[in-house]
Structure 1
Amino acid sequence: MNAVTRILDWPMQDCEDNSHVLWDAVSIARAVKGTANAEFVVTGIEFDSREVKPGDLFFALSGENTDGHRFVDMAFAKGAAAVVVDRPVEGPHVLVKDTTEALVRLGAAARARSRAPIIGVTGSVGKTGVKEAIYAALDRASRGDAHRSVKSYNNHTGVPLSLARMPARARFGVFEMGMNHAGEIAALTRQVRPHVAVITTIAPAHIEMLGSEEAIAEAKGEIFQGLGRGGTAVIPADSPHFERLRKAALRNGAHVISFGRSEQADVRLLDSVPALGGGSLVTADMGDRRLCYTVAAPGEHWIINSLAVMAAVRAVKGDLGAAGVALAEMEGLAGRGARIEIDVPEANGGGRALLIDESYNANPASMRATLAQLGRTDATRRIAVLGSMKELGKHAEGYHAALAAPMREAGVDYAVLVGPEMAALVGELGKSGGDSLGKPIPFAHCATVEEAVDKLSAFGLRRGDAILVKGSNSVGLASLVTVLSK
């Protein structure tokens, strides 16, 4: 069997080990410094009772607004094998002093028992997509024995949960780390202790909390503190903060690999052209070899992201062929670039329109990138539903107003703007001049998502339309995507 056949023949064969036991009662009690009242094994870990599956271990976390102990009965009703609690309950459980601390301890135990190469990913834009792409590449090459943090579990509870879920047999681990304050990634990277740390890009996300892009770069650079001597830092060569990131990596004894268009990049983009069926055909120089592969996800940002993926996969001695196949197969994620064909009402002529779901998050850099991609999308009309960008502080007005230029460059035919921060963009779009043809972009400014749905309905979708939906998660545009999808 040649290498290509092995890559394509990814699914496990029946003869392979299908054991899914994650932890037993004795191991859990020892790791969390607690007391188990029964013998049991668990196949998963969960702290959201709504997500519990049969065989899970449920952590009853206590937060500011709720107490997970209220949902212990629900967890057992959904099939939980046991629970971790700070007070005795009916049913199999591990009793501890503090359930949040116990989760961190179990994550630490999972990390300590693992012999897998570990990759940590952070960045202002694209970290979830890059994490998923690296995972897809390594999972294919290891025939299902890679592990990663799911969703955006990248904070002080999500990271230890993701670590605790890592099977002892995992051959690779990929973990996302996020932050909105300085010092947060430093705490997370000490738990993950990656062998390879990836920073996708630096942009003014969370600038309200940190004050400047330079401070954001410093905070993202904290990820290198978790690297041991000889670890690898993968950083964007085209970033104006490259030198700052490079020095942060070197201070922590890391070997630096850069990626991007720059002549000095270690993983350098040589060429990219549109691929048949969408996406891009990419040619990259890795120093001692050249790679040619397809990236299914559209957009310039994904071309550059793919270079970071290749750099990380090579750094853990992964299979670059499998990485190429994974990138060719991987399309946009829900809320992060998923492209959905939706039905146009018969009253409007019927047919299909394209919905681009970028509803999970937004900052100035990602807004510009997705608007540019909308402009390159073949469509009868281009419609932009844009929600407020949060956590921009005193910079919010300027960043929102600055969206007028990329909207005009994208040839937006109609815009629905949601949230009070969009008032600055409303003022900019209302100025004379308009687009290159001298026509202003028609728009509606809405206070709520429900109002936005009504405005979009009144405008009327037609066959061949492309509708971009993007905004900060707290705006709630995911519900608009749900309405359109149905």
Structure 2
Amino acid sequence: MPTSTAPLWTSQDLRNATQGQLTGDVHVRAVCIDTRSLQPGDLFIALIGHNADGHQYLKQALEHGAACVIAHDGAAIAKAGLTDDPRLLLVSDTMQALEALGRYRRAQFKGKAIAITGSVGKTTTKNMLATALAAYGKVHASVASFNNHWGVPLTLARLPQDAAFCISEVGMNHPGEIAPLVAQIRPDIGLITTIGSAHLGHMGSLNAIAAEKASLFAALPAGGTALCPEEAAQFPAVTHAIPQDVSLWQVGTTSHATIHCDELHCTATGSQLHLSTPAGEAQLTLTAPGPHLARNAALALGAIAALGLPPQAGATALRHFQPEAGRGQQRLLPGEITLLDESYNASGPSIRAALETLSLMPAPRHIAALGDIRELGTFAAEEHRALAQPLTEHNILTFCCGPHMKSLYEALPRSLQGGYAETSTQLALLLRPALQKGDVLLVKGSLGSRMRDLIALLDQPESSHSPEST
């Protein structure tokens, strides 16, 4: 299928959006904030972050084929010899310019916008919805977990004018973060995947988390639709936030559910689910295991129904959906060990969901390697210890790393204590010799616990861990 040759941004659009100075005639194919992923024809925006200043890479960006660079630091511009370069778009502040690009493109957008937030499952639900919506028209969605103060405007700045649907992921870990992001997205449909204990240390209570998530619903326009699981609708903060002219659609199994789910059947190879929606029936078959994936898919199909689209085409498109690396992907490790890779992030609810999936997978032994859940504050010891119950219930041999996971490890029966280490790399050295052919291994932890490093070590040939190679 031929792709559109129309530029994403023209010189005049860039000037109009940012009110910046640009003397050249440029045609931009994509928007980039990292020269490591820059492609010829991209617009490079020199943002200032915690670890780097994009102004240091202006010359490199142009040498790699950038069509245009946006910058505000006069000294850095002069140092790079770009003061009179026709490819330079000079602005007062690059972060404000990125936000301006997002607002400008959102104002031009004629399709439907969907925003997704939640304690668990945001990215997977977003990916499912993008896969399903592709059956109805051109979809633009945020990549990876681009859901913060720069990820949201970047997603909007990348929005093609001919897209039919735009899906934005919205994250938070402190009060007051969701509302300004949603104001940029201006969604027609808002979706909360879950309300759980993630970021409990910053937020203080589940009610506070619910109120913050509900700020997505509060911003919906007249005629908009708010979707959430039935359990999320039990928080008064959620229902009270919904404007009178916005519809609340609950997704669940009771008679109150607008999106009614039944005939759920989960096995080691996938799930089957029947949905009844105001826009029609759908029979869903997933080829990836886990009840949580079936629930995410039901939410995604609920959003399709809220758009007034019959959901079966979307359900059919989801048949071969597979999770990404770090978010439930399955693959083999050396030694014929099956890896359930959940290494990207973790919370109490997401670990429980992963353990439920692990228990469905046939194996002589189920093993979990767990790293710390971060941002729990004074709730950390209690939240970690509570995971002993599902681990014991499913008889999962457990290896732990990190100071918080020590609370869990000590709460486990001795028969399920596989090993403990302070770091993920140290844990890998304990775990590797304990693994046996046919084991199924779950690896999960918050991003800061660096469980990906453990997987990287397990991926190496065993000889590389011999004393001679260290």
Conservation of the 8 A alpha-carbon contact between 2:284 and 2:319 = yes
Secondary structure of the corresponding residue to residue 242 of structure 2? helix
Residue of structure 1 equivalent to 2:436:
462
Among residues 214, 218, 243, which one is paired with 1:250 in the alignment? Answer: 243
Secondary structure of the corresponding residue to residue 273 of structure 2? strand
The alpha-carbon deviation at position 288 of structure 1 amounts to: 6.7
Among residues 407, 412, 421, which one is paired with 1:424 in the alignment? Answer: 407
Secondary structure of the corresponding residue to residue 197 of structure 2? coil
What residue identity is the alignment partner of 2:53? D
* Distance of 1:113 and 1:185 partners within structure 2: 23
Residue of structure 2 equivalent to 1:349:
none
Conservation of the 8 A alpha-carbon contact between 1:58 and 1:75 = yes
Secondary structure of the corresponding residue to residue 84 of structure 1? strand
Deviation per CA, 1:73-111, whole angstroms, max 9, x where unpaired?
222232211110013452411000000000000000110
Among residues 368, 373, 379, which one is paired with 1:384 in the alignment? Answer: 368
Structure 1 residues 47 and 279, CA, compared in 2 at 3 Å: closer, same or farther?
Answer: same
Q: Flag structure 1 segments of 5+ consecutive residues without an equivalent.
A: 1-12, 345-351
> 2:110 aligned with 1:115, yes or no?
yes
* Distance of 1:240 and 1:111 partners within structure 2: 29
Conservation of the 8 A alpha-carbon contact between 1:384 and 1:468 = yes
> 2:174 aligned with 1:181, yes or no?
yes
Deviation per CA, 1:443-472, whole angstroms, max 9, x where unpaired?
21111121011111221x322111100000
Conservation of the 8 A alpha-carbon contact between 2:279 and 2:309 = no
Secondary structure of the corresponding residue to residue 194 of structure 2? coil
- Once the two structures are superposed, the pairs formed by residues 388-427 of structure 1 within 5 Å of their partners are 388-413=372-397, 415-427=398-410
Deviation per CA, 1:410-452, whole angstroms, max 9, x where unpaired?
2213x221111112112212xxxx3xxxx62132111112101
Residue of structure 2 equivalent to 1:450:
425
Secondary structure of the corresponding residue to residue 246 of structure 1? helix
The alpha-carbon deviation at position 240 of structure 1 amounts to: 6.5
Secondary structure of the corresponding residue to residue 310 of structure 1? helix
The alpha-carbon deviation at position 377 of structure 1 amounts to: 1.1
Conservation of the 8 A alpha-carbon contact between 2:266 and 2:291 = no
The alpha-carbon deviation at position 249 of structure 1 amounts to: 1.5
Structure 1 residues 54 and 140, CA, compared in 2 at 3 Å: closer, same or farther?
Answer: farther
Aligned residues: 451
Residue of structure 2 equivalent to 1:266:
258
Residue of structure 2 equivalent to 1:280:
271
Residue identity (%): 35
* Distance of 1:274 and 1:236 partners within structure 2: 19
Deviation per CA, 1:196-238, whole angstroms, max 9, x where unpaired?
0000110011111110000000000011233111111001113
> 2:16 aligned with 1:24, yes or no?
no
Deviation per CA, 1:266-321, whole angstroms, max 9, x where unpaired?
1111111236x811011122257432111233211112212211110111234523
- Once the two structures are superposed, the pairs formed by residues 346-357 of structure 1 within 5 Å of their partners are 352-357=336-341
Among residues 351, 356, 366, which one is paired with 1:367 in the alignment? Answer: 351
The alpha-carbon deviation at position 114 of structure 1 amounts to: 0.3
What residue identity is the alignment partner of 1:290? E
Secondary structure of the corresponding residue to residue 133 of structure 2? helix
Residue of structure 2 equivalent to 1:5:
none
Deviation per CA, 1:129-188, whole angstroms, max 9, x where unpaired?
11111111112321xx21000010000000000000000111110000000111110000
Secondary structure of the corresponding residue to residue 357 of structure 1? strand
* Distance of 1:485 and 1:458 partners within structure 2: 13
Which of 476-485 and 168-177 deviates more?
476-485
Q: Flag structure 2 segments of 5+ consecutive residues without an equivalent.
A: 461-470
What residue identity is the alignment partner of 2:259? V
Conservation of the 8 A alpha-carbon contact between 2:170 and 2:178 = yes
* Distance of 2:357 and 2:348 partners within structure 1: 14
Secondary structure of the corresponding residue to residue 416 of structure 2? coil
Deviation per CA, 1:34-72, whole angstroms, max 9, x where unpaired?
011311111111112222112110100123442110011
The alpha-carbon deviation at position 33 of structure 1 amounts to: 1.0
* Distance of 2:50 and 2:456 partners within structure 1: 30
Secondary structure of the corresponding residue to residue 118 of structure 1? strand
Conservation of the 8 A alpha-carbon contact between 1:314 and 1:320 = yes
Conservation of the 8 A alpha-carbon contact between 1:190 and 1:225 = no
- Measured on the aligned residues, the alpha-carbon RMSD in Å equals 1.7
* Distance of 1:323 and 1:482 partners within structure 2: 35
* Distance of 1:227 and 1:93 partners within structure 2: 37
Q: TM-score, normalised by structure 2?
A: 0.92
Q: TM-score, normalised by structure 1?
A: 0.89
What residue identity is the alignment partner of 1:101? Q
Among residues 451, 456, 461, which one is paired with 1:477 in the alignment? Answer: 451
